[in-house]
Structure 1
Amino acid sequence: MSAALSIPSSRVVTFLAERAIPFSYIRTTATGLRKSILNAPVDFRDLMKTSGLHEYETQGFGPKFKVLLPVDVITGSGAMIESTMSLYRAKTRGDERVWLPSIDDVLEAGDVLIVAIVGGRLRCFNGSHLSSESFREISELLKAQNEPSIFEELLARLRILGSRGYIAAPQAGSSSVGRLLEQELGIPMNSSKNPDYRGIELKAGRITNARSNLFAQVPDWEISPLKSSAAILESFGYDTPDGKKLSSTLSIRSANSQSLFLHLDRDTQRLHARSNPLEPEDVVSWSLEKLEERLFQKHSQTIWVDAVSRMEGGVEYLWFVGLERTANPIFPEFLRLLRRGRITVDFLIRSDGDKGFLFKISPRDRSALFEGSRYFNLVE
């Protein structure tokens, strides 16, 4: 991973995710610290909105509309400094900004500022390079009183679910395992990019070697030659009885039947989808920084639930038998798996709507992608 792609300490992320403490992180740069300006990333803006503390979308431009929120800044020694956080939009273009006057007391350029919400109050601290003593002091200040581990709670519920044996799937198709799991856990269907169960991402599938979804991420249209899914469909789609479609798996290792393939450009820090390997042309692109943020946002802690399937009277029955718990994705490993063709991207586009751009990985490669991986049986 390049120095520019900094992420928080893995143990900090695990601690916050296990206790379902809402949080986001903000990268810092020398320029931002010198000018007292930090960009407010999407995850941070979402955190402010979902917590009811602030909504950038409705905020006016310029200093006149600046919002100040009280915040506790935690130093590495465990001291708590009362401060204020400024949330505003730039006067000219409306770019979302954030600033913490006491930020120089806790971090340097290149460090990551963690913003967590505990008891409805903002608490900030340096999420990079924490010593064991600093982590212990900070974690004590963040802990909720006698709050059980969210993972332990979820594991207990899944073991009860596993003890029930085969359960009729609510529908047919590839998504039936996930839908059944959501139904049994009382999780409403949604298209949110945020984790499913109180800070934990849930993935469910049949026990096979088939690839599973890591995340969906649209290309960066601003840096892409083709500016929309419709443009991709027009250039590379094919006619079917149900209309024009493009269902295509892209890999770095070789071009597919539509002459599409992936190319990783470390100089520009971009992943490209290209056409025509003999005379390559970029089709769409993703910035590696955005892919890293997406991977980290989705999989700081993930439960991959395994189910076995049987058909009876034309109905599928599923039995949840085990799970793999992973935490703290390793972005250099993500790039290595991309280069080896172990992570691929599916284009699933139709004239009447599409499922987007899915980054996928095979189950046997998951453990290499994460710092922590452990398997739990749900059936005695």
Structure 2
Amino acid sequence: MTRTIKLAVIPGDGIGVEVTEQANRVLDAVLAGGDVVLDRTEFKLGAERFLATGDTLPAAEQAAIAEHEAILFGAVGGVPGDPRLKNANIERGLLLKLRFDFEHYANVRPCALFPGVESTLKHPGEVDFVVVREGTEGPYAGNGGRLRAGTPNEVSTEVSVNTAFGIERIVRHAFSIAEQRDRKKLTWVHKTNVLVHSGATWQRIVETVAAEHPGIAVDYMHVDAATIHMVQNPAQFDVIVTDNLFGDILTDLAGAIGGGIGLAASGSINPDRTFPSMFEPVHGSAPDIAGQQKADPTAAILSAALMFDHLGLQAEGDRVRDAVRADLAARGTAARSTPEVGDAIIAAIAPRA
């Protein structure tokens, strides 16, 4: 029986449009001849939409997106410094709004150093870990404000929101990922020596959940120490769980270790499946090279593989990753266009078992 998956596609701006096109081509190539089909709806949202209409995320379109099983997202953002976008705040009004309203509380970012890819590290060792970042709390919750703005006495506050509910659900999700991996190790990262209140809540909950998972080895690192260890010995990590802000920083560092953010896949997951989860590369819209077909679509394609995993199509996700692995191992140093990378990955997709 044929399974139809409703997929919302938001290419966004700049190179987001170009890399999303190649991710869609790979999705179709992997599903060809099978019993799963994609029913796509494209939503034109982002800086260009805002400049044309003044809309960021109209309620009707958000409601329509919510009716889908998953979201494939490109990138948003216009030319930095464009005065027309000064008060638009596209990222918070679109990207973060979707994450918060759709309860994407688990931002999952794998970091693997593929054969043929050079790391920025001299001796990286075997790099294969996952960062699980809490996605709906912390300083990104928008709890704060400005008093006496524009004066010498201006006061700005940005409150980090940490709830037992929010911490427990991300910690449980991280343990569930650790249970599925061979090494079965989890490192939780915070700054408990300074952020004593939120740190104490995180520690209590991690210890409580850890007691339910005796087969998982658990350790702790301060976030500043974690950045050092991630550079000096990234091979020691398996699953990292941390809060929203620390996770934002660590995942970009992880992207650099894994060969650059052009290879960094991301999933903003609603594990409860009450809303569609969103899958996106993290490299931004790169307006300086937009329209030139120079962008590497590999991160978008690997994000599509994460989407397959989330939709219960693990074999399809593995076929995408295997094709990417084969392409990266054979790629060499010759420059290739965005469609040429897509072509090569499609050519490397193994036949259906």
Normalised to the residue count of structure 1, the TM-score between the two structures is: 0.24
Greater relative CO (CA pairs within 8 A, separation 6+): 2
Normalised to the residue count of structure 2, the TM-score between the two structures is: 0.25
Higher relative helix content: 2
